[in-house]
Amino acid sequence: MSWIYLDNNATTKIDPQVLDAMLPFLQESYGNASSVQHRIGREANQAVALARQQIAQKFDVKDSEIFFNSGATEGINTVLRGIAYAYVRKGKHIITCQTEHKTVLTTCSQLERNGIEITYLPVSQSGELDLQLLRDSIRPDTILVCIMAANNESGVVHPISAIAHICQEKDVLFFCDATQLVAKQEVNLKQIPIDILTFSAHKFHGPKGVGALYVRRKRKPIQIPPLISGGQQENGFRGGTLDVPSIVGCGKALEIANSHPEIRQYRDYLEDQIRLKIPEVIIHGEQVSRLNNTSFIAFRHIKAAELMTALPHIALSSGSACTSGLLDPSHVLKAMGVRDDDAFASIRFSFSKFTTRTDVEQTVNDLAQTVQRLRSSSPIWQLFKEGVID
C-alpha cells in the first residue's frame, strides 16, 4: 500500500529545485559568507544576498528589511522578548490571541512572570477575531499586537490588513506570525502595513531550520535587540555563521512558490465526500476564510489517535506538531468552544502541491471504511445511536 502524506502544515517535502539550488553550497561553494577576502567566501556571500533579494521581491520590500534566522520559533522569541525589553519605558502591555501558536503563548506566559501584562483576545466559534474588541483593547501602554496570519490547526485566516491598519491608526507595533500563510497567499508588505513578520522555509517546500524576519524600516527605527549575540552577521541583528545552503533553499523555495488552485479543489472534494460517506462529522471553521490546503474535522465519538493508528499508511495530525505529544485537547478548538470529546476526535488534513487526486480519493475511502469499523465496535457510538448521549 502506497504512502499518503497529508500533514503539510507540520512540514513539507523539499522541492527538487530547492535541493538542486542548495547542493553547490554544500559541496563546492562552501565558504563562510563573512569571509569575503577570498572567492569561495564571496560566492557564499553573494548567494545569501540573492536569497535575501528573492524574499524581499516576494513581499515587495527592501532587501535590508529581511533578516535570516533558524525559523519562526526563533523569530517569535526574538520579537516578543526583544520588544518587551526595548519598550519597557513606554509600557508593559502586549495583545495576542488565544489561538496563537504555542510558541507565542508559552513565550507570553514567561513574559507575564516578568511583569508584562498580556491580553489574550478570544475568538468566535468559527475562530474569528472581533476587530472592535482588538481596537478597544489597545491602551496607551500597549507596546505590541501579536496576531498570526493563519492558524496552523484550523486554517482560519485572520484579516491581517485590517489588523495592521488598526495598529497603524493606534500607533502600536504589529507583529505577524505568517508561517502558514506565506507561499499560500500573496502577502504584499508595501500594501499591508505590518511592522514585523516571521516565517519558516520548511512550510513551503524549503529546508528545515531556516526562516526569516521582516522588520519594517521606519522613520523611528523599530528597536529589537538580538536574541543571539555574536558577530556582526545580519547587520548585528543575529549572531552566528550563516547557514548558506539553507538560506539559499529558503530564497529559492519562496521564489518558485505559487498558490496551486487545485489544492482548494482537493480540500473541498475531501470535505464533500466525508460529509457524504461518514455521518456525524464537524468541519471546524468552515463558515469563514480558511487556508485552501487545510481541513480540521471531528469524527464524533472516535478518538483521533485511535483513528490515525488504524490508518498507518496516511500521515495525518490531531493538531499542531509542536503539541501532538500532549494529553490535553487542542487549545485552538477549546478557544473556539469545541467540547473536549469533539476536540479529541479531530484530525487535521493539510495538502501541498505534491498531493494528488488519487491521494485524496484513497484517503476518503479508507477513512469511511475505518470509521465505520471503529464505530461498529464502540460502546460510546451505540449509546449515541440510542440517544443516551449526544
Q: Residues with catalytic annotation?
A: 322
Nearest of 45, 15, 11, 10 to residue 31 by alpha carbon:
45
Spatial contact of 96 and 147, defined as CB atoms under 8 Å apart: yes
Half-sphere exposure of 148 (CA within 13 A, CB side): 31
Residue 317 to residue 154: CA distance in whole angstroms: 12
Burial track 375-386 (b if 16+ CB lie within 10 A, e otherwise) = beebeebeebee
Query: How far is residue 239 from each of residues 68, 306, 315, measured CA to CA in Å?
Result: 10, 45, 36
Nearest of 314, 293, 328 to residue 205 by alpha carbon:
293
Nearest of 253, 245, 266, 91 to residue 183 by alpha carbon:
253
Query: How far is residue 67 from each of residues 212, 234, 247, measured CA to CA in Å?
Result: 5, 6, 10
Nearest of 92, 111, 79, 95 to residue 222 by alpha carbon:
79
Spatial contact of 304 and 343, defined as CB atoms under 8 Å apart: no
Nearest of 306, 316, 323 to residue 351 by alpha carbon:
316
Residue 80 to residue 175: CA distance in whole angstroms: 9
Nearest of 189, 175, 179 to residue 142 by alpha carbon:
175
Spatial contact of 48 and 247, defined as CB atoms under 8 Å apart: yes
How many Cβ atoms sit within 10 Å of the Cβ of residue 342?
Answer: 17
**What 3-state DSSP class applies to 118?**
strand
